Amino acid sequence: MASKPNAIVAQSGGPTTVINASACGVIQQAMKSGKIGKVIGAINGILGVLKEDLFDISAEKPETIEALKQTPAAAIGSCRYKLKSLEESKADFQRVLDVFKAQNIRYFFYAGGNDSMDTADKVNKLAAEAGYELVCMGIPKTVDNDLAYTDHCPGYPSVAKYVATCAAEAGKDTEALYTTDTCTILEVMGRNAGWIAAATGLAARSPEDAPHLVYMPEAAFSFDKLVGDVREVLGRLGRVFIVAGEGLKDKNGKYVTADSGAFAKDSFGHIQLGGVAEMLKAVIEKEVGIKARFNKLGTNQRAAMHFASATDVREAYMCGKMAVTYALKGVNGKMVTLVRAKGRDYKCSTGLAELRDVANGEKKVPRDFINDKGNHITKAMRDYLRPLVQGQAKITVGKDGVPEFMRFKRKPLNKKLPNYL
């Protein structure tokens, strides 16, 4: 009797607080389905597939798998290795299929953003052409919340809750010490979409509350505008708390950090995003003549399990679980989406979108979520966000007062193919 087909789970791109919850949903649902042999983890995403660096997740302890729900980042390992078109990355795509065949993998669950959905779509096409029976399912993941066809992306609600809390807290600090530290800039992630910056607006319940200014890549930014905005808030409150998305752009859509010496490039010559806070600080100190300081949460914002959204963890798990449920029902080539029910009470279920549509789509903050001045959010944004950040995710705090996270043992699968990469 032929053994049951195996399933592979891979995580891709920048980690989130809940991508492990999605993995947990896939693993637990696959293991209890009775229709799947091993659940295999691809160490460091598609790199693990290419290198045949795989491990048997189903051999891990059940409590380790359960603890995925309480562990941030990507426990199976992630990477930023990008496969291009089927022609340009032909050898890579063929290798993926060869590894799947060698390991009897018939289900491919891939959690990631646009690029990952693109990869999953192309692997799926190649398998179909080759007559290899394979089901490819995408699971949405990105703190940036910029995937189309889904109401929101797992990972976003948690970063939203955390950065809004950070803005409220650091805002209190600025309010307390404004006679010295008059301006604070909180830099948050978001290269092309301002969803994370927008989320901090939730903390501004009154005009006195931080943040007073929220800059998102979707609204054209200029330093003249910044200086004017800062002066206006200073005149009113004597202090100013600013949130800046890392990818602010001018009216021509050019990154404002791209042309500025020290901030422009990283050591590899790439344009280095994330220098926006330093730049705003320098401009405000010079032009407005007040002391400014900045907080840059960096990867801490996308890893803040200790104050993650319980709603997010639940929905991320649901996405993983439903990916398996759909796959076993014969669905193929789709990404699971989150669908918000119409009506006053928040209800969220799952739907499906074509992998290739998601790969080609992008969802920015709608214009009506941003105020007319382009420096804060509107009620529409608040209404969108509020249900997503409800509840605090469960964590386990150790005897040392610090949260405890799991780590897989990663029992390696025997390699069946020659080395690659």
Residues that are catalytic: 144
Per-residue contact string for residues 338-367; x = within reach of a copy of itself by CB under 8 A: ------------------------------
Is 391 an interacting residue with respect to a copy of itself (CB under 8 A)? yes
Q: Which amino acid is at 165?
A: T
Is 173 an interacting residue with respect to a copy of itself (CB under 8 A)? yes
Is 14 an interacting residue with respect to a copy of itself (CB under 8 A)? yes
Kindly tell me which residue out of 228, 351, 361, 403 binds a copy of itself, with binding defined by CB under 8 A: 403
Structure tokens at 365: 């903050």
User: Which of 355, 358, 350, 353 minimizes the C-alpha distance to 317?
Assistant: 350
First-to-last alpha carbon distance for the chain, in angstroms, is 34
Contact 279, 262 (CB under 8 A): no
Is 419 an interacting residue with respect to a copy of itself (CB under 8 A)? no
**Restricting to residues 94-153, which ones interact with a copy of itself according to CB under 8 A?**
none
Is 306 an interacting residue with respect to a copy of itself (CB under 8 A)? yes
Is 378 an interacting residue with respect to a copy of itself (CB under 8 A)? no
Structure tokens at 404: 């405890």
CB of 254 to a copy of itself, least distance (A): 23
**Closer Cβ to a copy of itself, 175 or 354, answer by number:** 175
Q: Which amino acid is at 362?
A: E
- Choose the binding region for a copy of itself from 2-10, 112-120, 246-254, 306-314 (rule: CB under 8 A): 306-314
Tracing tokens 């602010």 back to the chain, one arrives at 248
Q: CA-CA distance, 396 to 389, in Å (whole number)?
A: 20
Kindly tell me which residue out of 64, 89, 104, 165 binds a copy of itself, with binding defined by CB under 8 A: 165
CB of 190 to a copy of itself, least distance (A): 16
Distances (CA, A) of 196 to 214, 270, 304: 10, 23, 14
Length of the chain in terms of residues written: 421
Is 399 an interacting residue with respect to a copy of itself (CB under 8 A)? yes
Kindly tell me which residue out of 91, 176, 271, 417 binds a copy of itself, with binding defined by CB under 8 A: 176
Is 169 an interacting residue with respect to a copy of itself (CB under 8 A)? yes
Q: CA-CA distance, 240 to 51, in Å (whole number)?
A: 51
Is 180 an interacting residue with respect to a copy of itself (CB under 8 A)? yes
Helices (H), 201-261: 223-237
Q: Which residues contact 117 (CB under 8 A, 6 or more apart)?
A: 110, 138, 147, 335, 355, 356, 358, 359
**Closer Cβ to a copy of itself, 149 or 408, answer by number:** 408
